[in-house]
Amino acid sequence: MIRLESLSKSYPEGNLFSNVNIFIKKGMRTGLVGPNGSGKTTLLRLMLEKESPDSGIVQKDKSITIGYLAQDIVTGTNLSILEEVLRAFPEMQEIEVKMLTLSNALTNDPDNIELVNQLGETQNRFEALGGWKIEERAKKILSGLGFSDNKFNEPMNVFSGGWRMRVALASILLKEPDILFLDEPTNHLDLEATIWLESFLSDWKGAMVMISHDRAFLDRSVNHILEIDLKKITLYQGNYSKYKKEKSLRMEQHLNAYQNQQKQIKTTKRFIERFRYKNTKATQVQSRVKMLEKMEKIEEPTEYNRTINLMLPQPSRSPLNLVSCQNVTKHYDDIEVFNNMVLAIERNQKIGLVGYNGAGKSTLLKILAGIEPVTSGEVWIGSHVDRAYYAQHQLETLDPDDTVFESIQKVSSGWSETEIRTYLGSFMFTGDEIEKYVKVLSGGEKARIAMARILVKPSHLLLLDEPTNHLDIMTRNIVETALKQFTGSIVCISHDRHFLNEVTDLTCEIGGGKIRIFNGNYDYYTWKKDSESSEKSKLIKHKTFRKGKEDYQDRKKTRNRLAWIEKRFKIIELEIESQREITRNSANGDNYELLQKALEKMNKLELEYLDLMEEQEKLLE
C-alpha cells in the first residue's frame, strides 16, 4: 500500500532519521512508538506527503483511500455532529438530496415516466452505497466514542475541542479508508471510549499506522510496532508486549556492541598517543587514525544514556483521615452527579477513579481539591492536609513566554537558583534545557513542567486528572515509578490501564450518583466485575427456572409470536426484493402503472417491517 525507500529527514536542529525503508501492507496495524521529539509525527506526515523528505521516495498504491486524524484541534461548525460525521460520504449526501428533489417533482407530475426511472436508478445507487445503513453505523460509532443519543443533533460548535476530535475520529472510522493514520487518538478519550476504540481497531481489515503511548491500547489493537530510536527506524512483528521482549534482547546486543566498540576506540587512541612521535610506527599510527575516522560509530543505547529518576517532594506525616465526604449531593442545573455520596480518603491510599463518561470523575476531583462547591452535604479536610490538583488541561495554565526556569521560579518563592536547577533536574530538565521557552517545548515536556509547578510544595494528597496525557512511554514509566514511591495519597483519573495497574491499589467506581470501592487495582476491578456479572447471570437463570411454571403460558405466547415475526421478516425481505427487481428491470421502463404499484408495495412492506421491529424489541425487553 505504502512504500518508503531510502527516506531521510532532518531539521536545522539535527538529523531525525536516514535511509528508511518500510513497506506498509494491507492488514498491517502498526503502532508507531519512540521518545517525544524523535520524529513520529514527522514520519506520519512524510507517509501522507504533507512534508517532503530530504532524500528518498514515498510510493502509494493507486486509488487507495486515506483517513488521517491529526493532533490539531478541530474547528466547530453549525452542522449537527451526526451531519458532520456523515460528511464523510459526500456522494451519498448528494444522492439523498437528488432523491428528495425527484420525489417532490413526482408529487407535482406523477405521470412522468422519466422521473420515475431516474428515482429508481438513484435509489438503487443509494442502496448500493449502503445508504440505508450508513446513518445507523454513524450513530453506533458516535455512541462508542462516548456521545449519548440526545447529543447527535446538537451543533458541532457547542462541544469542546476534545469532543470535536471524537467527531473527527468518528467520521474517519465511518468512511473505512484503505489505510488509517492516527496521531494519538486516545488523548481526548476516556477509558470507556478507549476500550471501545481498541476493540473496533482490532477488527480493522485495512492498513493502519498509529502513534500512541498507551501500552495496553497498543497491546490490544496493533499487530506490528514501528520504533524510532537513536535516529533509526525498526519494524517489529507482534503487539507492544512482544515488541518489548524483542527490544530487550536487541538492546542487550546493542549495548554489548557499543561497549566492545568503545573498548576498541580507547585501545586505538592509546596506541596513537603512545606512538604518535615515533618514526618507526608512523605508518601504523596513520592507519589507525584513518580507521577511527572511517569507523561507523555505534550510538549509545537510549536506556543507558543516563539514569533518570523523577523525585517527587515527599510530604510530612499526615493524619489518618485526609478528606471525608459526608452525604454529598452535587447538581449542575437539572443534572444530578452525586446523591448523598459518602467517601473517605486515608493516609497512603492510592485510588483510581473509573466510570462511564459523564459519571462525575473530574467533578469529584474538583470537589476534593476544594475548587468545586457541593450542592449539599459536607466535605471535611484533615488538619494541616495539603492538596495538589493537576487538571486535565493543566498545560493551558503555562505562560508560553516563560523559560522553563522562570516557570518554576514564579511558584517557588524564596528558592535559590541552585535549588531551582536541582529541582528541575529531578523532572528531567538539565543544562541548557532550562533556558528553553515553554512555547517551543513538546507536549510531554510541557506536561512535566506543569506537574513540577504543582508539586513545588510537598502535598499529602495528589489529585491527578489524566496525568499521563502527552507523555511518551519512557516518561510514563518514570512517572509511574515516582508515584509508586510517593509516600502521600493519590486520587487519579486515567484512561491508561497500565498506569492504573502500576500506581493504584484501590479502585473507585462512580456511577448513578454513587461510589463503590474495590480493594485492588484496575485489573482486580475488572476481574471482580466480571465475576459478579457471571454470578448474576447464574442467579437470573435460577430465578427464571423457579418462576418458570408461573408464567409458562405467557412465555410460550411470546416465543411463538417472536418466531412468527422472524418468519414474517424473511417473507417481507423476499417480497421487497421481488418488487425491487421489477423497478430494476429495464423492460418495465415504460410501464408506469406497474412501477408505481411496485414502489407503493415496497413502501408498505418497509413500514410493516419497522412496526414488527418495534414489537420485537418490546417483546425481548
Write out pLDDT tens, residues 27-55. 999 999 988 878 899 999 999 999 999 99
At 178, the pLDDT band (50, 70, 90 cuts) reads very high
Please give the Cα distance from 59 to 326 (Å, whole number): 63
Share of the chain above pLDDT 90, in %: 46
* pLDDT reading at 530 higher than 60: yes
| Helices and strands per DSSP (H, E), number in the chain | 19, 18
Q: What is the mean pLDDT of the chain?
A: 87
* pLDDT reading at 142 higher than 90: yes
* pLDDT reading at 257 higher than 80: yes
The type of residue at 147 is F
* pLDDT reading at 208 higher than 70: yes
**What are 435-477's pLDDT values in tens digits?**
999 998 888 889 889 989 998 889 999 999 999 888 888 888 8
Lowest mean pLDDT among 80-89, 489-498, 611-620: 611-620
At 308, the pLDDT band (50, 70, 90 cuts) reads low
Please give the Cα distance from 30 to 187 (Å, whole number): 18
In sequence order, the 6+-apart residues with CB closer than 8 A to the CB of 277 are none
* pLDDT reading at 69 higher than 80: yes
pLDDT at 64: 92
At 304, the pLDDT band (50, 70, 90 cuts) reads very low
Share of the chain above pLDDT 70, in %: 95
**What are 393-435's pLDDT values in tens digits?**
888 889 999 999 999 999 998 899 999 999 898 888 888 889 9
User: CA nearest 480: which of 352, 360, 387, 356?
Assistant: 352
The C-alpha cell 418495465 sits at 588
* pLDDT reading at 5 higher than 60: yes
Do the bridges between strand 29-33 and strand 224-229 make them parallel or antiparallel, or are there none, so unpaired?
parallel
Please give the Cα distance from 15 to 296 (Å, whole number): 16
pTM of the model: 0.72
**What are 100-138's pLDDT values in tens digits?**
888 888 888 888 888 888 888 888 887 777 777 888 899
Lowest mean pLDDT among 301-310, 509-518, 589-598: 301-310
Please give the Cα distance from 321 to 407 (Å, whole number): 33
* pLDDT reading at 185 higher than 90: yes
pLDDT at 501: 94
Mean pLDDT score, 497-507: 95
At 183, the pLDDT band (50, 70, 90 cuts) reads very high
Do the bridges between strand 179-183 and strand 66-69 make them parallel or antiparallel, or are there none, so unpaired?
parallel
Please give the Cα distance from 520 to 501 (Å, whole number): 9
pLDDT at 588: 73
More confident residue, 617 or 229: 229
pLDDT at 602: 78
pLDDT at 617: 73
* pLDDT reading at 584 higher than 80: no
Query: Which uninterrupted H or E stretch holds 67?
Result: strand 66-69
Domain 321-530, architecture per CATH: 3-Layer(aba) Sandwich (3.40)
Half-sphere exposure of 422 (CA within 13 A, CB side): 7
pLDDT at 546: 52
Mean pLDDT score, 20-26: 93
Strands (E) located in 34-145: 55-60, 66-69
* pLDDT reading at 603 higher than 50: yes
Mean pLDDT score, 190-218: 94
pLDDT at 121: 86
* pLDDT reading at 207 higher than 60: yes
Please give the Cα distance from 189 to 181 (Å, whole number): 17
Q: Can you read off the three cell numbers belonging to residue 611?
A: 412496526
